[in-house]
Amino acid sequence: MKNGLAISVSDLTKRFGDFTAVDAITFDVKKGEIFGFLGANGAGKTTAMRMLCGLSLPTSGKAIVAGFDLYKESEKIKKSIGYMSQKFSLYEDLTIRENNRFYGGIYGLTDRQIKDKTSFMLEHLKLESQADTLVKALPLGWKQKLSFSVSMIHDPQIVFLDEPTGGVDPVTRREFWTMIYEAAHRGTTVFVTTHYMDEAEYCDRVSIMVDGKIEAMDKPAELSKQFNAKGMAEVFVQLARKAKRSDN
């Protein structure tokens, strides 16, 4: 990727009728960075992320993802990114091994590669004994970690995680973030949304969206300083209070 940028977005906008879900956002994400994408419910995070993954066509604006143009090269983008949606996205009636084989397969991995990846992943997650268990029999924390591993099966340059730790216990969340750090260490850019402010502190940089616009963006420590706050939680509350819309 040129100039070390994984994602480069300018004036990206999405309108549904006369509702502007994402309002001319502009930001860059550096290669290998863990970028926290924060915002209250309904602020437009998921819509923005979906546009970057090629799941939703922007109304206007520009975006380069993994070095490819969002409009013209969305197929190339799809090969270079991993995506973990808000909903749990593995097949519950398939075993861990079968899920791996399926997702590896649709990303064009060879059988050999899938096999290696699977055994590496199982060993790493200490799930060797569960390889042939149906996914529905696993606890939520494991499912989420598994889901993350599967979204990384093809070694993507960028991985998009949409609230990956929702409903997960603190210990597992900690383990999950260890996995995120490992991925970033290997050079993968991590683009993550979350509602947990302790997680926001783990990010290299965060942006906070309010009513479709990015209201603040910097390193967590800098933001705290700037807003004269004790931590990200306070920064977030200060900004989110200004919001006119919410989803409830």
Partner 1 sequence: MKQFLYFIRKEFYHLLRDRRTLFILFGMPVTQILIFGFALTNEVKNSRIAILDNSKDEATKTIIHQLEASRYFDIVEYLHSYAELEPTFQEGKIRLAVVFPEQFQASLLHTNAAPIQLIADATDPNVANTLTNYASAIIMDYQSAMKETQDFPYTITTELRMLYNPQLKGSYNFVPGVMAMVLMLVGAMMTSISIVREKELGTMEVILASPIVPINVIIAKMVPYLLLSMVNIASILLLSVFVLDVPINGSLSLLVFECFLFTLTALALGLLISSISDSQQVAMLVSLMGLFLPTIMFSGFMFPVENMPIPLQVLSNLVPAKWFYYIVKDVMIKGTGLETVWKETLILFGMLIFLLTISIKKFKVRLE
Residues that bind partner 1 (CB under 8 A): 16, 50, 53-57, 75, 78-79, 81, 83-94, 98, 101-103, 105-108, 134, 151
Nearer to partner 1, 101 or 173 (CB): 101
Nearer to partner 1, 86 or 172 (CB): 86
- Least Å distance between CB 63 and partner 1? 15
- Least Å distance between CB 37 and partner 1? 16
End-to-end CA distance of the chain: 40
CA 199 vs. chain centroid, Å, equals 13
Nearer to partner 1, 84 or 240 (CB): 84
- Least Å distance between CB 239 and partner 1? 27
- Least Å distance between CB 198 and partner 1? 26
The amino acid present at 66, given as its one-letter code, is A
Nearer to partner 1, 101 or 117 (CB): 101
